[in-house]
Amino acid sequence: METVETGETPTRLSRRRERRKAEIVRVAISLLATSGYQGMGLDDVADGADIAKPTLYHYFSSKDELVSAALETLSNNVLNRLIAVLDDAPGDAHRDRLRALVNEQIRIMTEEYPEVGTIFAWQTSWPDMHDEARKSMRRRHDAVFRQVVVAGLEAGELDCANIDVALQCLHGIINNASIWLSQMKDSEQTLTTQRDLVSAVMRIFTTEHS
Amino acid sequence: METVETGETPTRLSRRRERRKAEIVRVAISLLATSGYQGMGLDDVADGADIAKPTLYHYFSSKDELVSAALETLSNNVLNRLIAVLDDAPGDAHRDRLRALVNEQIRIMTEEYPEVGTIFAWQTSWPDMHDEARKSMRRRHDAVFRQVVVAGLEAGELDCANIDVALQCLHGIINNASIWLSQMKDSEQTLTTQRDLVSAVMRIFTTEHS
Amino acid sequence: METVETGETPTRLSRRRERRKAEIVRVAISLLATSGYQGMGLDDVADGADIAKPTLYHYFSSKDELVSAALETLSNNVLNRLIAVLDDAPGDAHRDRLRALVNEQIRIMTEEYPEVGTIFAWQTSWPDMHDEARKSMRRRHDAVFRQVVVAGLEAGELDCANIDVALQCLHGIINNASIWLSQMKDSEQTLTTQRDLVSAVMRIFTTEHS
Amino acid sequence: METVETGETPTRLSRRRERRKAEIVRVAISLLATSGYQGMGLDDVADGADIAKPTLYHYFSSKDELVSAALETLSNNVLNRLIAVLDDAPGDAHRDRLRALVNEQIRIMTEEYPEVGTIFAWQTSWPDMHDEARKSMRRRHDAVFRQVVVAGLEAGELDCANIDVALQCLHGIINNASIWLSQMKDSEQTLTTQRDLVSAVMRIFTTEHS
DNA sequence: CATGAATGAGGCTTCATTCAT
DNA sequence: GATGAATGAAGCCTCATTCAT
């Protein structure tokens, strides 16, 4: 949950370094989401993290390394929350587990990372060097959902003609919904919309509807 | 093929100017889609149109004016194709008309504008100046689909709990699918996938499935 | 009074060419005065003369040639008017002739060329190539005044310690007054000020004052 | 020697910053005078200050901000020197004080700022943004001279028909003389000319001459 | 460790000038 | 002769990055 490469110096007061790093990454994720790769200026990152621009280079050797760290952190946080949902309800019906996953994903996007969809969208305009990281994220993210869908299909609880297409639809809906939902002012309406959204997604995977 | 602002001088070889303008806009649309607003450099536009950079200023007085023209051309082309589909089959069942719309939209995105989804996506990082154009495009685009869905709901042919949510899902699926589909190599698989995609979308609007 | 290099083709309907040239030069003089050498864009000149920019090159082979023509026309017009004043009153007292010269110069600057002072001011920022023309203009201009002053000094009508210094003062006063006067709104005040200005200049050349 | 905005951090080697800033401003003043606003290129400023062009932006956020600083520095330096002259001889006769002022102004223009006249001349072609600064400079500059002249008129030591006209003449003479004088090679002649110049100016304000 | 200073590369835009029609 | 089209050079400004303190 901290950063990945810990382990060398178990614990020391260089924890401060990790805290700073995490703060910088947090700002970077936010800027990446709102402004895109080209729009994220190191000036803005430094401002947001309350440090001077050259100080960034004590933590990340280049803009692209910072971006990589941001992508990785973002991936891990999202995946961890999704996996936690599955762990919390290991015995549920597959249909309910899928519903829970979708619901959690939507909550992540409205509450914590309103912008994550724009980062991992298929979209290009990112340097090639990050393609692998973004593809990997999408793959791992897809695997979480796919595993539940496959089990549901085998158990006869779910039903869709083409699982690849169905999962693409799922990702499309979720990515698109992220910013749309986070722009709603009325919080009650937001909740209602979220519920309807989950239902709409479930339609893609089920024949009879609740 | 559809340049705007024609009609003033139906004259002769100033057609060349319009052709050049259209070519520049074409390159701009492509770059906007692949690289985003910030990533679209006038150098690249000029290169793509085989002219020198300052020559761009004979046709567009600034980068933003070129971008505006690109957005407008893109909007008009897409909307015209969708409307043409509706006009071609005015008497069909609403369900079939919706299916035709979705199908056409997907074809637009795979054949002509593989990237249109990324331009009109909710995403930010565009100068405020273009917000209105992008919102307007989404609004008009949504209206085409909504009108068919509303008619279908009233006729009892379609059925969805929340029309706003359903349409958002539709747009999300389509936007997301655009680049995904255009990256497929095998053209037969592409066709199959398109068909499955349309079916998946239709699930959101219908209770019994064909 | 037309342009200088006439004489080859005595008269023809290529008079049109000369008229165009004169119009262009007129616009150029105005822009040179209000915007300076760097500020005078050929776009503006073409606009002001109601022709297209490349058409300028049919009349002047470069910006600098146009500028040269402008300087020459300006010089000639001003000098011609000053000489005409002297010719009109050949027998007057030298003091009165000087007063008439100063008065005419001020009228030129307020009525016809409000900006001429800024062009021939000592100021630099002009390409070297025009230095000679500007120096020559100043020399010829100075000669007109100097000739009267010298005659006045010899006749004992005028009196100044250093004729070079006195003439420099005269030019400085006149150049500076040009834009100052032309900014006055009240035309009666303008007249009064002009009269006082002439008196002030005369003080430099006379011991007893009228 | 007089940098503005000191006092905040009376600290140590951030003095270097102020020195650099002053150096840049010095170069800018010189270029503004010799080349005008449009002629002053940031390339030249950077060359003159022996730094790279982007480095300028560490000190001034735009060309216009640099120009503003240059105008302000120039104004302050000139006014301070003039006021110092008045302070040095507070008890002198008004006529002598005026003579001292004129003398000092001429020395400023020949020794330190040969070009100041061309910057604050009435001339246009400057962006509107600097109009206020230039007008303000002329106003404050005029006030210094006017105050002495008014006192001299009231005391009966000076005499001129129209004080506004007389002061305009003074400024015109001084501005015009600046570059003229600074082009003289022979330093003895320069001194003689300066003295004669002061005498000529004094004629405008006095009836009997020394 | 932290930062002010510095900069090469690149981005948008303007301008005087040439070329083809 | 007149003009729309085209462009190389230059101008102002930004940004990721390095260096010295």
Phi, psi of B155, rounded to the nearest 5 degrees: -80, -5
Tokens 């340097």 belong to A127
CA–C1' distance B53–E8 (Å)? 21
Cβ contact C197–D165 (<8 Å): yes
Instruction: Report whether pLDDT(D209) > 60.
Output: no
Out of D34, D196, D207, whose CB is closest to C161? D196
Nearest to D123 by CA among D77, D165, D89, D171: D171
Alpha-carbon distance D205 to C162, whole Å?
18
Q: Which amino acid is at D157?
A: E
Verify whether the Cβ–Cβ distance A162 to B35 is below 8 Å.
no
The answer to whether A39 and A33 are in contact (CB under 8 A) is no
- Enclosing H/E stretch for D181: helix D163-182
- Quote the percentage of chain D above a pLDDT of 70: 91
Token pair 């020394």: residue: D210
**Among A135-149, B108-122, D146-160, whose mean pLDDT is lowest?**
B108-122
Q: Which helix (H) or strand (E) holds A13?
A: none
**Structure token pair of residue B97:** 């008309």
Least confident of A18-22, B21-25, C120-124, C135-139: C120-124
Closest residue to C39, CB basis, from D38, D199, D207: D38
Least confident of B48-52, B117-121, B137-141, D204-208: B117-121
Q: B162 in contact with A at a CB cutoff of 8 Å?
A: yes
The single residue listed with the structure tokens 């762990």 is A87
Q: Which residue has the higher pLDDT, B19 or D185?
A: B19
Cβ A56 vs Cβ A42: under 8 Å? yes
**In chain C, residues 124-153 whose CB comes closer than 8 Å to chain D:** 124-125
Q: CA-to-CA distance for B138 and B122, rounded, in angstroms?
A: 9
Stronger pLDDT, C36 or A209, i.e. the higher one: C36
* D128-137 LR contacts (CB < 8 Å, sep 24+): D129/D64, D129/D68, D130/D37, D130/D64, D130/D67, D130/D68, D130/D71, D133/D68, D133/D71, D133/D72, D133/D75, D134/D71, D136/D75, D137/D71, D137/D74, D137/D75
pLDDT of residue C9: 57
Helix (H) or strand (E) holding A50: none
Nucleic chain E contacts, Cβ below 7 Å? A 17, 20, 51-55, 57-58; B 13, 40-43, 53-54, 57, 61-64; C 40-43, 53-54, 57, 61-64; D 14, 16-17, 20, 51-55, 57-59
Q: Which residue has the tokens 């790279």?
A: D52
- Do residue C193 and residue D164 have CB atoms under 8 angstroms apart? yes
Contact between C179 and C115 (Cβ < 8 Å): yes
- Give chains near C: 3+ CB pairs under 8 A: D
Nearest Cα to B149, choosing from B135, B139, B160? Answer: B160
| pLDDT exceeds 60 at position C3 | no
Question: Is residue B37 within 8 Å of residue B67, measured between CB atoms?
Answer: yes
Q: Of A191-195, B46-50, D123-127, which gets the smallest average pLDDT? A: D123-127
D165 touches chain C (CB under 8 A): yes
Burial class of residue B163, CB neighbours in 10 A (0-12, 13-18, 19+): middle
Rounded Cα gap, residues D76 and D74, in angstroms: 6
What is the rounded CA–CA span in Å between residue B149 and residue B160? Answer: 9
DSSP state of D9: -
DSSP string covering A156-192:
TS---S-HHHHHHHHHHHHHHHHHHHHT---HHHHHH
Q: Which residues contact D64 (CB under 8 A, 6 or more apart)?
A: D127, D129, D130
Compute the nearest-CA separation of D139 from chain C (Å): 13
* Strand F contact nucleotides, protein CB < 7 Å: 1-21
Q: Which residues contact D40 (CB under 8 A, 6 or more apart)?
A: D28, D31, D32, D63, D67
Q: Is residue B199 less than 8 Å (CB to CB) from chain A?
A: yes
**Residues C168 and D170: beta-carbon distance below 8 Å:** no
Q: pLDDT class for B68, splitting at 50, 70, 90?
A: very high
Cβ-based burial of C72 (10 A; exposed 0-12, middle 13-18, buried ≥19): middle
> Looking at strand E, which nucleotides approach a protein CB closer than 7 A?
1-21
Name every residue whose Cβ is closer than 8 Å to that of residue D199 and which is 6 or more positions away in sequence: C161, D209, D210
Instruction: Round to a whole number and report the distance in Å from the CA of C66 to the C1' of E17.
Output: 14
Q: What is the pLDDT of residue B207?
A: 80
Partner-chain contact D35 C125, CB within 8 Å: yes
Q: Is the backbone of residue B18 left (phi > 0), alpha (psi -120 to 50) or beta?
A: alpha
Query: Given a contact as 3+ CB pairs under 8 Å, which chains touch A?
Result: B
Residue of D23, A165, A3 whose CA lies nearest to B106: A165
pLDDT at A6: 47
Q: Which of C18, B207, B174, C122 is nearest to D115 (CA)?
A: C122
Q: What is the mean pLDDT of chain A?
A: 88
Name the DSSP letter for residue D56.
G
pLDDT tens-digit profile of A156-190?
Answer: 999 998 999 999 999 999 988 887 887 788 888 88
Chains in contact with D, where contact means 3 or more Cβ–Cβ distances below 8 Å, are: C
Mean pLDDT, range A14-36, rounded to an integer: 91
Q: What is the pLDDT of residue B209?
A: 46
- Calculate what percentage of chain C has a pLDDT beyond 70: 91
Which residues surround strand F, with CB < 7 Å? A 40-43, 53-54, 57, 61-64; B 14, 16-17, 20, 51-55, 57-58; C 20, 51-55, 57-58; D 13, 40-43, 53-54, 57, 61-64
Looking at residue D63, what is its pLDDT?
98
Query: Is-contact A200 B204, C-beta < 8 A?
Result: yes
pLDDT reading at D174 higher than 70: yes
Query: Residue B45, Cβ neighbours under 10 Å: how many?
Result: 23
Q: What is the pLDDT of residue B7?
A: 46
Which segments of D40-130 does DSSP mark as H helices, in order? 42-49, 63-88, 94-107, 116-120
Find the farthest-apart pair of alpha carbons in chain D and give their distance in angstroms, rounded. Answer: 59
For residue D169, the chain C residues in CB contact (below 8 A) are: 169, 173, 176-177, 197, 200-201
Contacts of A180 in chain B (CB under 8 A): 122, 168
**Distance, CA of C87 to CA of C103 (rounded, Å):** 15
d(CA A134, CA D99): 79
Does position B102 have pLDDT exceeding 80, yes or no? Answer: yes
Helix, strand, coil share (%) of chain D residues, nearest 5? 75, 0, 25
The predicted pLDDT at position D2 comes to 41
Percent of chain A with pLDDT over 90: 62
Alpha-carbon distance values, C138 to B105, C94, C103, C171 (Å): 75, 22, 18, 9
> Cα–Cα distance between A100 and A110 in angstroms, integer?
15
**pLDDT recorded at residue C123:** 65
Chain A contact present for B191, CB below 8 A: no
What distances in angstroms separate CA C62 from CA B203, C20, C29, C128, one per listed residue?
A: 71, 16, 15, 15
C-alpha span between A145 and A174 (Å, rounded)? 12
pLDDT for res B5: 47
Can chain A be said to touch chain B, i.e. do they have 3 or more Cβ pairs within 8 angstroms?
A: yes
Distance B62 CA to E13 C1' (A): 8
* DSSP run (H or E) holding C98: helix C94-107
- Shortest-distance nucleotide from A57 CA to C1': F17
Q: Which of A172-186, B166-180, D59-73, D170-184 has the highest mean pLDDT?
A: D59-73
pLDDT of residue A23: 96
Give the CA C55 to C1' F4 distance in Å. 11
Q: Where are the beta strands (DSSP E) in chain C?
A: none
A179 Cα to chain B: minimum distance (Å): 7
Grade residue D6 by pLDDT with cuts at 50, 70 and 90.
Answer: very low
Q: Which residue of C has its CA nearest to D182?
A: C122
3+ Cβ–Cβ pairs closer than 8 Å linking A and D: no
Whole-angstrom distance, CA of residue D5 vs CA of residue D22? 12
Interchain CB contact of C174 with D (< 8 Å) = yes
Pairwise CA distance, residues C176 & C193, whole Å? 14
* End-to-end CA gap in chain A: 37
Q: Which of D198, D203, D210 to mutate to test binding with chain C, by most C CBs within 10 Å of its CB?
A: D203
Show residues of chain D in contact with C162, CB under 8 Å: 193, 196, 200
Tokens 């001034």 -> residue: D60
B199/A161 CB distance under 8 A: yes
Closest residue in C to D123 (Cα) is C118
What is residue B180's predicted lDDT score, i.e. its pLDDT?
81
C14-24: per-residue pLDDT in tens? Answer: 788 899 999 99
For residues A6 and B89, the model is more confident at B89
**Residues on chain C touching D161 (C-beta within 8 angstroms):** 196, 199-200
C147, two tokens: 């000739």
Structure tokens given for A154: 């085998």
Residue showing tokens 């699982």:
A163
Residues on chain B touching A177 (C-beta within 8 angstroms) = 168-169, 172
Does position A56 have pLDDT exceeding 70, yes or no? yes
- The answer to whether residues A28 and A45 touch, using CB atoms and an 8 Å cutoff, is yes
Reference B55, options B47, C55, C44, B19; nearest CA is B47
pLDDT for position B208: 63
Q: Which nucleotide is nearest to B40 (CA to C1')?
A: E11
Q: From the CA of B122, how many Å to the nearest CA of chain A?
A: 7
Alpha-carbon distance of D42 to C133, in angstroms, equals 29
Q: What is the 3-state secondary structure (H, E, C) of C32-49?
A: HHHHHHHHCCHHHHHHHH
Is D125 close to C39, i.e. CB distance below 8 A? yes
Give residue C210's pLDDT. Answer: 44
Domains in chain A and their CATH numbers? 15-205 (1.10.357.10)
**What is the C-alpha separation between D29 and D31, in angstroms, rounded?**
5
| Helix extents (H) in B11-158 | 15-39, 42-49, 63-88, 94-107, 116-120, 131-154
* Residue given tokens 């999202």 in the structure block: A78
Range C137-144, long-range pairs (CB < 8 A, 24+ positions) = C137/C71, C137/C74, C137/C75, C138/C171, C140/C75, C140/C79, C141/C75, C141/C78, C141/C79, C141/C82, C141/C171, C142/C167, C142/C171, C144/C79, C144/C82, C144/C83, C144/C86, C144/C101
